[in-house]
Amino acid sequence: MTEAAARSPGASRLTRDDALALDAGDALAPLREQFALPDGVVYLDGNSLGALPKRTASRVQETIVHEWGDGLIRSWNSAGWIALAQSIGDAVATLIGSGPGEVSVGDSTSVNLFKALSAACALQQADAPSRTTIVSERSNFPTDLYIAESIAAASGSKLRLIDARDLADQLDRDTAVLMLTHVNYRNGRVHDMAETTRMAHAAGALVVWDLAHSAGALPVDLHGADADFAVGCGYKYLNGGPGAPAFIWAHPRHTERMDRDGMRQPLSGWFGHAAPFDFTPSYRPAAGIGRFVCGTPPIVAMRALQCGLEVFAEAESHGGIAALRAKSIGLADLFIDGVETTCQGRGLALETPRNPAERGSQVSFAHADGFAVMQALIARGVIGDYRAGHAPSAEADLIRFGFTPLYTRFVDAWDAAAALADVLSSEVWREPRFHRRTVVT
């Protein structure tokens, strides 16, 4: 943070000392010590890439040097590699309201979405062949829309993109599957999973949920919502590292139906075979969620994800996911209040719902020069990110700030708001260096 920002009269109605006092009373504060966070940096981009758990480097080193180096191929048995997809899946299950043995980890979010969405469409084709439409939000994360486009093109079905406010009117007799991200990646708005699923089922549709921006950040109850399928990312709030393996879940009623009727998901890889080491020339799917496994799991990356999930196990003694959710709400409220108090008239517009019940664990502001503003902010040691808007949909350019309660402090939220006020009031963002585009924004 700059000297000017440090001297600012306050980043909210709370003072910086007030924020420090909140940190002193925070039962979750000790969990920050589990992460390797660079000095002088306020990291508010955990909704895009989570921070590094301190234990990860040694665990990965152990996996490479001893399990791979010494154990060689024996480690599939001796080090338990063969069971990682399921054991790590069980750790994810505790965060998303599913049961043991129902979640599998491996492949990317895109690949897992292809499997889940294809399976949902196949189930509907068997029961209601006249239903040929996949419905999703126009502002859904692009990879989800691209995957849906490819499935629609291959199957002769249709993809219909809608605005969230029109959802109830767009679920009709043609709708086969509703595909939504639980927390919208742009504005942070959270869908009511139970009510949306109920509404979709009443219309005869199945629902595929993307939990990339909610797993590990807020309570998720897939069984309580009677959801159908879900996928999610391992490298955001789960802190599994860049490109970490993703997860997939299917309600047992669907896996049991697929078992009973001999239905397959389209990527019938050898690790999804009922007996992969029988090496038979024809495919026989594994039971349950096992049929959704495809290729050989990336073991080194799986160990890194395992480390990220272990921190959540430790968080249980500090109040678990409910305490994490309460803290994320407090962090975001403090930040919103600070920005709106100190940045009035500076071109910012809050895009995230003000009501905590309607938002995830991020805050997004629109700004006409959002890219340059964010680059200037990063130069001051406050790391968020930028997401471009698109015409003619009237989407604005956004600067996003993610609040990961495992390691984000209240003073971080205060300092970030103060730094943003300094960037805007000084207009330093107008400097040409902050307008140079990079590939990753």
State how far the Cα of 292 lies from the Cα of 290, in Å rounded to an integer: 5
Is residue 161 within 8 A of residue 174, CB to CB? The reply is no
Is residue 70 flagged as an active site residue? no
Is residue 132 within 8 A of residue 153, CB to CB? The reply is no
Give me the residues paired with residue 133 across strands.
158, 175
Is residue 235 flagged as an active site residue? yes
Dihedral sign, CA of 31, 36, 40, 44? negative
Is residue 386 flagged as an active site residue? no
- Count of positions (residues) in the chain: 441
The residue from 107, 210, 397, 422 that is catalytic is 210
Is residue 198 flagged as an active site residue? no
Nearest 5°: the CA angle 255, 193, 358 is 155
The residue from 114, 141, 386, 434 that is catalytic is 141
Which residues, other chains included, contact 73 with Cβ-Cβ below 8 Å and sequence gap of 6+?
none
Place of tokens 């690949």: 111
Place of tokens 């509907």: 124
The residue from 235, 237, 335, 434 that is catalytic is 235
Q: What is the DSSP letter of 189?
A: B
Of 370, 419, 347, nearest to 11 by C-alpha is 419
Is residue 247 flagged as an active site residue? no
The residue from 32, 189, 325, 400 that is catalytic is 400
Dihedral sign, CA of 230, 236, 240, 243? positive
The residue from 32, 186, 236, 327 that is catalytic is 236
**Residues carrying an active site annotation:** 141, 210, 235-236, 400
